[in-house]
Structure 1
Amino acid sequence: MSSLATFCTAPPPQSSTVKHHHNHLSPARLATLIDNSKTIKQLFQIHAYLLRNSLETHPILNLKLQRSYSLLGRLDYSSTLFHRTLDRDVFFYTSIILSHNNENLHWQAMGLYVEMLSKKIEPNAFTFSAMLKNSPIVTARGLHGQAIKMGCEMNSYVRTGLIDVYARGGEVELAGQLFDKMPERSLVSLTTMMTGLAKNGDVDGARAVFEGMGERDVVCWNVMIDAYVQHGRANEALVLFREMLSGDVCPDGVTLVAVFSACGQLGALESGRWVHGYMKNRRVRMNVHVGAALVDMYSKCGSWEDARLVFDEIKSKDIVVWNAMISGYAMNGLSREALQLFSEMRQLSVHPTEITFIGLLSVCAHAGLVREGSEIFRSMRKEYGIEPRIEHYGCMINLLGRLGHLNEAFKLVKAMTMSIATRPDQIIWRTLLDACRLHGDSDLGEDIIKFYTDQNPASSGAFILLSNIYAAKRNWNGAKRVRTMMKDTGIQKEPGCSSIEVNNTVHEFLAGDAKHPKRKEIYLMLEELNRCLRDYGNDAQQT
């Protein structure tokens, strides 16, 4: 029996929110009290009053109670009430479906939808809207067909939900067709279309929708500013932010997170400081998301002292804030400070995440702290139950390789090949072979190449690195042997490529390429340049 089921069958507790009245409270008054409840305790008190006065089956009060339990994060209580309700109509089903989809429990919501249909309860426009929220595109197609059949497709909520699902699923053209056929475009539908275009990389298309809006709320500005930031167009994000301020639209925390990210991308410290000052003057609350973005911005701009001041100002720090400060120390080369902060974090029983360990291992790699790095790497699985990802292995291999612990690094790479999730990529192999070149260990380099060719399809990159190892030691026979190995295994070196932009046209050249229409003029010019360089060299020797 669930805790709520026990509550419903136990003697009703005394209520302080719903005080004793000689006359019973009206259903309308009780409905208002439910809607205004801010805590589970308050809902329990109202629920107790309903039980005490035999009002628990009142359809409106029951439905509102279910919704409120869900909104306060107790979907389990909401579900228990739903299943204890005998006469469940389309409104009860729509409410519980939306509650599940709000928690990204789409397949459970689908089960409830199928149950509703099996009971011959017809869905309405609000049901389809609830089902489409966070829905995968595979189920949205079926819902779309059913909405057409039920005559709900033109409802603005349903149409907006379909646009959102199709746009998120990459069907931008279909989303655009639905959007274009909307008889009236609400601010929500316009924002949804703009968001869909920006998730799919069409930032200019999103800007076109943005410019066509008659009215814009802060959400619209946030979507557009964030789209620029996410696609590496930080300058345009800051220009739009200034336009937002001149239009007397008050930014919120979401705006500031995006703007601080833009400043961090550009290294625009003074702009970041100005926005921070604006935030203080307008008394925008420093929540953990804004705080973490501010710490990250100052760190990326090289002002780790300001980052630490912000970090210390944040009252209730979550792991995102701790990670931001540890990563900030890492990117500024402050290894001891990062490790000390991690120690403080552990003392406060803050549980680290994968991102925490990427920052810590990066610090150890750059500072050459083999012992500390090895201990941290081992603690991931042993103390915190976190499986190392390829990024964590990469940090450790870089650390071991740079300090000359080549056999340990190779052993770690071999361990990586045992799991598909951590199978080493080209960067890992290059890091390992670069370490062999750095320390002149050509014998281990050959062993690595043999192991590599057994594990991977033919690739020239690793062989070129091994050739460079021999060349660095002036072992020309070894370098020649590698070239012979490449020839024997049918591996060809990928041709070198260069490009140049002339009059807004990009010209690309491959080594040995003879396809360019002006190749004769190009080679004549190269010969002339070589002659000039030779003449310059001869003149310098004579001088």
Structure 2
Amino acid sequence: MNSKLKLRQAIDTLYTNGPAIHECYTRLALECFRASDVDQAKRLKSHMDLYLFKPNDTFIHNRLLNLYAKSGEISHARKLFDEMTQRDNFSWNAMLSVYAKSGLVEDLRVIFDNMPSRDSVSYNTVISGFAGNGRAGQALGVFLRMQKEGLKPTEYTHVSVLNACTQLLDLRRGKQIHGRIIICNLGGNVFVCNALTDLYARCGEIDQARRLFDRMVIRNVVTWNLMISGYLKNRQPGKCIDLFHEMQVSNLKPDQVTVSSVLGAYIHGGYIDEARKVFGEIREKDEVCWTTMIVGCAQNGKEEDALLLFSEMLLENARPDGYTISSVVSSCAKLASLYHGQVVHGKAFLMGVNDDLLVSSALVDMYCKCGVTRDAWTIFSTMQTRNVVSWNSMIGGYALNGQDLEALSLYENMLEENLKPDSVTFVGVLSACVHAGLVEEGKEYFSSMNDQHGLEPTPDHYACMVNLFGRSGHMDKAVDLISSMSQEPNSLIWTTVLSVCVMKGDIKHGEMAARCLIELNPFNAVPYIMLSNMYAARGRWKDVASIRSLMKSKHVKKFSAYSWIEIDNEVHKFVADDRTHPDAKIIHVQLNRLIRKLQEAGFSPNTNLVLHDFGEDEKLESINYHSEKLALAYGLIKKPHGVTPIRIIKNIRTCADCHIFMKFVSNITRRPVILRDSNRFHHFVEGKCSCKDYW
């Protein structure tokens, strides 16, 4: 028969026989304490109260009080403490422990201040309680008070005080305490060494942390975890992974904390495939592991994997937090997957995290990047609190979707709310000016960055201004602005110049921009292709051949243009003149039928945009089967009726012929079409586009 059952039977007997003598109560109180059986302790106390037994010593009460303290029984402990007519330091310290473990720091302070006398245990309990409940400054204050009273700190004291210094990132005071530890000859204590290692690692002195680690004779798993996570916090993922391998060689088994740090190291080092292998080997994955892996995939271009992992996480009944949800929503935004975004939004609502600031801001961004600014605005306008990220998502979202005046109006509202804009805010504002052709307004906003808000323009802002000047026919001003830059213009600046030159047919500045881009990166296909397109548009086929020959000699590979459309939760991808899709034949039949119908309404394919030296028939064949047209035809086949928009994504800028084509389709079929290309969203409704033919 086990001790707990014997204890229960003894107390049952006590209830049957009535009152007991002092020795019986004492023995049973001691047995409850030894067995950590708080339920039987409560029964014993109720029996004592029933028979009005009031012991005249503190032994019984102290044992019960200590048991309540261990179990976090605040109300029972408080009631018993108030009843006690005699209290010693053990009694007071037990109450300190109750409040410290329960996080009731104000009650902890009151009890400590009212104690008739204090010993090292009292101080240790209070210092630990303050440090463990986010009151690091108060913990250090009590430590100074302890020293003034002449009480000698123990290794337990030093661990708590070091933890307080770590919370405050107070390295100066931490080093002073380190000196005391050496004087007191406590440097060999494993818990003290762990606390010191954590302090130095978190305060950026990772090499000092490693020296302490290397000198340690005894290392438990916690020690390794502190050093491994320390390398990760100091942005040294390679050393984090190396130390993990050392840990494995030492025959110590990693725990969840170890694995989470190593996952983070692989992810921050860009080794996402290795991270997946480590993740796959974990048998019992907690929320931290799931979140680390999902966020890693979301941040390393593996958005589809992030969505799949999120589904698996839910199936495993692991509960995602706001950080996890926001990362998944961001993945949906990058994929422009409205369906998945709406599903995750629903999950966020059911879990009660949809009002979380991170989540709601991510949802605003997602709906904007899926072309549904109305839903984005609904979320934004009902947010209880908004930060600059929330405002930026909505301002940038309006600009991306051709609602330029709405973007600028919202920016003015942001200023009225006395919220300080940042660099991202002005990218949205200046982009709105570019697409609305607001040159003077753009100049004013650009000047206000430094003059009014103390923000130094970045290449992103200069690129917007170059775009604005170039599109409005002032390429000379754009070039002057580039010359005035304090930093060297990067590839974004010259790509912007080249894009505008292609649009305007400006060979002179286009050649200059292409040369600069090729110097920056000789293996990037973009400048070669764009310059080749400019020559082709002018019929300069010898120059086109020269560019292609140069690409071949440098082994520069041309990237593929493609479009995709999501139908019934399945993504369908197309390239130009695609014949690989299972429904390729009916897609081409549908597209040919659509082209004939549009031609009857006045549409004429623009074969001048074909950048090859072909005959007219070949040019028609080339331009009629661009990837976005195939995707549109497939969308009309699968969703022939209704008023819901057909949504298409393209990885490069859509051509002028496809743009006109989409306008005709939206007018003839009375079906909205939303096309997101590499530049922006195009909302085609009744023959008009939200970009106002300016993209």
Does TM-score exceed 0.5, indicating one fold?
yes
2:175 and 2:207 mapped to 1: Cα distance?
Answer: 15
Structure 2 partner of 1:323: 361
2:179 is the alignment partner of 1:175: no
Task: Return the offset for 1:193.
Answer: 0.9
SS of 1:422's equivalent?
Answer: coil
| 1:103-118 alignment, distance < 5 Å | 106-118=136-148
SS of 1:66's equivalent?
Answer: helix
Match of 2:431 among 387, 398, 412: 398
Match of 2:62 among 27, 39, 43: 27
SS of 1:62's equivalent?
Answer: helix
Once the two structures are overlaid, the 10-residue window that deviates more, 213-222 or 23-32, is 23-32
Task: Return the offset for 1:195.
Answer: 0.8
Instruction: Give 1:354's aligned amino acid.
Output: V
Q: Could you give the per-residue CA deviations for residues 87-126 of structure 1, whole angstroms, max 9, x where no partner exists?
A: 3444444444444444655444433333332333332222
Structure 1 partner of 2:177: 143
Q: CA, structure 1 residues 233+399, in 2 after alignment: closer, same or farther (shift >3 Å)?
A: farther
Task: Return the offset for 1:218.
Answer: 1.4
Instruction: Give 1:26's aligned amino acid.
Output: H
Structure 2 partner of 1:483: none
SS of 1:417's equivalent?
Answer: helix
Do the aligned residues in 1 keep the contact of 2:171 with 2:203 (CA within 8 Å)?
Answer: yes
User: Could you tell me the TM-score, scaled by structure 2's length?
Assistant: 0.57
SS of 1:430's equivalent?
Answer: helix
1:418 and 1:76 mapped to 2: Cα distance?
Answer: 48
Q: CA, structure 1 residues 442+86, in 2 after alignment: closer, same or farther (shift >3 Å)?
A: farther
| 1:46-445 alignment, distance < 5 Å | 46-47=77-78, 49-53=80-84, 58-70=91-103, 74-102=104-132, 106-133=136-163, 134=166, 135-211=169-245, 212-213=247-248, 214-244=252-282, 249-268=283-302, 271-272=305-306, 274-313=308-347, 314-317=350-353, 318-343=356-381, 345-346=382-383, 350-380=384-414, 382-383=416-417, 386-418=419-451, 422-441=455-474
* RMSD between aligned residues: 4.3
Task: Return the offset for 1:235.
Answer: 1.8
1:419 and 1:109 mapped to 2: Cα distance?
Answer: 43
Question: Highest CA radius of gyration, 1 or 2?
Answer: 2
Q: CA, structure 1 residues 229+77, in 2 after alignment: closer, same or farther (shift >3 Å)?
A: farther
Q: CA, structure 1 residues 67+294, in 2 after alignment: closer, same or farther (shift >3 Å)?
A: same
SS of 2:351's equivalent?
Answer: coil
Task: Return the offset for 1:320.
Answer: 2.5
1:327 and 1:23 mapped to 2: Cα distance?
Answer: 68
Q: CA, structure 1 residues 413+107, in 2 after alignment: closer, same or farther (shift >3 Å)?
A: farther
Q: Could you give the per-residue CA deviations for residues 437-461 of structure 1, whole angstroms, max 9, x where no partner exists?
A: 2223468769978xx96xx857667
Structure 2 partner of 1:504: none
Structure 2 partner of 1:7: none
Q: Could you give the per-residue CA deviations for residues 246-302 of structure 1, whole angstroms, max 9, x where no partner exists?
A: xxx300111111121233245546644553443344322344444444434444444
Do the aligned residues in 1 keep the contact of 2:471 with 2:500 (CA within 8 Å)?
Answer: no
Do the aligned residues in 1 keep the contact of 2:295 with 2:324 (CA within 8 Å)?
Answer: no
Instruction: Give 2:281's aligned amino acid.
Output: E
Structure 2 unaligned segments of length 5 or more: list them: 1-41, 55-59, 511-515, 525-545, 554-612, 615-695
Task: Return the offset for 1:364.
Answer: 1.5
Once the two structures are overlaid, the 10-residue window that deviates more, 209-218 or 182-191, is 209-218
Instruction: Give 2:157's aligned amino acid.
Output: T
Do the aligned residues in 1 keep the contact of 2:198 with 2:227 (CA within 8 Å)?
Answer: yes
Instruction: Give 2:430's aligned amino acid.
Output: I
User: Could you tell me the TM-score, scaled by structure 1's length?
Assistant: 0.71
Task: Return the offset for 1:144.
Answer: 1.7
Structure 1 unaligned segments of length 5 or more: list them: 1-15, 480-492, 502-525, 534-539
Q: CA, structure 1 residues 270+370, in 2 after alignment: closer, same or farther (shift >3 Å)?
A: closer
SS of 1:326's equivalent?
Answer: helix
2:499 and 2:242 mapped to 1: Cα distance?
Answer: 53
Q: CA, structure 1 residues 496+120, in 2 after alignment: closer, same or farther (shift >3 Å)?
A: farther
Instruction: Give 2:444's aligned amino acid.
Output: K
Q: Could you give the per-residue CA deviations for residues 176-228 of structure 1, whole angstroms, max 9, x where no partner exists?
A: 22111111111000111111122233323222322323212111111111222
Do the aligned residues in 2 keep the contact of 1:34 with 1:64 (CA within 8 Å)?
Answer: yes
SS of 2:112's equivalent?
Answer: helix
Do the aligned residues in 2 keep the contact of 1:69 with 1:78 (CA within 8 Å)?
Answer: no
Task: Return the offset for 1:68.
Answer: 3.0
SS of 2:421's equivalent?
Answer: coil
Q: CA, structure 1 residues 433+191, in 2 after alignment: closer, same or farther (shift >3 Å)?
A: same
Do the aligned residues in 2 keep the contact of 1:191 with 1:220 (CA within 8 Å)?
Answer: yes
2:496 and 2:268 mapped to 1: Cα distance?
Answer: 38
Q: CA, structure 1 residues 250+458, in 2 after alignment: closer, same or farther (shift >3 Å)?
A: closer
The alignment of Structure 1 onto Structure 2 pairs a total of residues equal to 463
2:114 and 2:309 mapped to 1: Cα distance?
Answer: 52
1:304 and 1:118 mapped to 2: Cα distance?
Answer: 65
Instruction: Give 2:399's aligned amino acid.
Output: A
Q: CA, structure 1 residues 460+299, in 2 after alignment: closer, same or farther (shift >3 Å)?
A: closer
1:105 and 1:425 mapped to 2: Cα distance?
Answer: 40
Instruction: Give 1:412's aligned amino acid.
Output: Y
Do the aligned residues in 2 keep the contact of 1:334 with 1:363 (CA within 8 Å)?
Answer: no
Task: Return the offset for 1:333.
Answer: 3.7
Once the two structures are overlaid, the 10-residue window that deviates more, 117-126 or 439-448, is 439-448
Q: Could you give the per-residue CA deviations for residues 351-372 of structure 1, whole angstroms, max 9, x where no partner exists?
A: 2233322322221221132343
SS of 1:26's equivalent?
Answer: helix
Q: CA, structure 1 residues 362+169, in 2 after alignment: closer, same or farther (shift >3 Å)?
A: same
Do the aligned residues in 2 keep the contact of 1:167 with 1:193 (CA within 8 Å)?
Answer: yes
Question: How many percent of aligned residue pairs carry the same amino acid?
Answer: 18
Structure 1 partner of 2:36: none
1:259 and 1:469 mapped to 2: Cα distance?
Answer: 38
2:148 and 2:217 mapped to 1: Cα distance?
Answer: 33
Do the aligned residues in 2 keep the contact of 1:163 with 1:193 (CA within 8 Å)?
Answer: yes
